[in-house]
Amino acid sequence: MGLFKITGCSAWIHVSSLACTSPVVSQVITLILGFSLLSSNSFYINCGLMDQVTIENEVEKVQLLPAKNDDHEGVEVNLMEEHMDSDVFLTLLRTSMSQWTMQGKKGVWIKIPIRLVNLVEPTVKEGFHYHHAEPDYLMLVKWIPKTTSTIPANASHRVGVGAVVLNDKREMLVVQEKNGILKGKGIWKVPTGIVEVGEDIFDGVIREVKEETGIDTEFVQVLAFRQWHNVLFGKSDLFFVCMMRPLSFDIQIQELEIEAAKWMPLEEVAAQPFAKKESLLRYIIDLCTAKVDRDYSGFSAHPVTSFKDEKGYIYFNKRDLN
């Protein structure tokens, strides 16, 4: 085989079809030109249409987008460049897709950082769709096979926590919110909040209590959890009710979000009109009473390891397990 080399240039060059017996290069050039080369003895190509394809001594060297294989016969593209021309990217993307299709790859994930927002439009025009977004990137994905896609949907749930903190006087730590649907309603409720990315449930609830009230606590158990749907931007919501042990008692409220906070006798919390309905607060009070008076057993946290040796926690009723 003779030397075949195309590099980023603006001139037209002559290439012998003998150099195009490689299926990879033949398919790449066909993709770029839009017609097959099988019937041609020779042809001319504008090098400006491609970034780089090299065939030398029958060894294929095709420049592709930087990617790694995932665990499901797909690839993940993570663009690290500070700047990238849209046309150069489009050429690399088409070349890469041709290669990955021949390799039998399935899902192709492309993570585009916000600084390369100019690459979003050409990616979408190549058949990719949005999967999810974070403050600094957009993730797009495409399913290659002509079969039903098994690409998982974007995260479906948000995780919240509520803290049941009871002192030795049977007083519950409660707050009134300064914002949201409970603003100005005069309802006393337990401290609540959202678990952050990479944060364990017990760490999240400890943090939320400290932020809202200044009280240090120790996680005891998950007493129960609640699920709601279509809560925020169409997503579902999981809320974990956690029993906490107070380690301090002087309240210092977070003025940005909290209108007031105090230690309130459990009976007074339960006497609120809102707590008498079939509400979350009613069940929280019932669970708290059952825990204190009848030794109700919730779920405690226990270390667990995944198949990938990742560390996490499983929550279960240890007392009844033994």
Q: Are 89 and 122 in contact (CB under 8 A)?
A: yes
Distance in Å from the first CA to the final CA of the chain: 72
Q: How does pLDDT run along the chain (322 residues), one tens digit per residue?
A: 444 444 433 333 344 444 444 555 555 454 444 444 443 443 434 333 333 444 444 445 668 899 999 999 999 999 998 999 999 999 999 999 999 999 999 999 999 999 999 999 999 999 999 999 999 999 999 999 999 999 999 999 999 999 999 999 999 999 999 998 889 899 999 999 999 999 999 999 999 999 999 999 999 999 999 999 998 888 999 999 999 999 999 999 999 999 999 999 999 999 998 887 778 999 999 999 999 999 999 999 999 999 989 999 999 999 888 7
Q: Which of 76, 126, 199, 211 is catalytic?
A: 211
Burial class (CB in 10 A: 0-12, 13-18, 19+), 182: middle
Q: Is 257 a catalytic residue?
A: no
Tokens of 272: 């609120």
User: Could you write out the DSSP letters of every residue in 124-171?
Assistant: HHTT-EEEEEETTEEEEEEE-SSS---PPPSP-EEEEEEEEEB-TTSE
Rounded Cα distance between 247 and 263, Å, is 14
- Torsion angles phi and psi, residue 275, rounded to 5: -75, -15
Q: Are 281 and 162 in contact (CB under 8 A)?
A: no
Rounded Cα distance between 42 and 46, Å, is 14
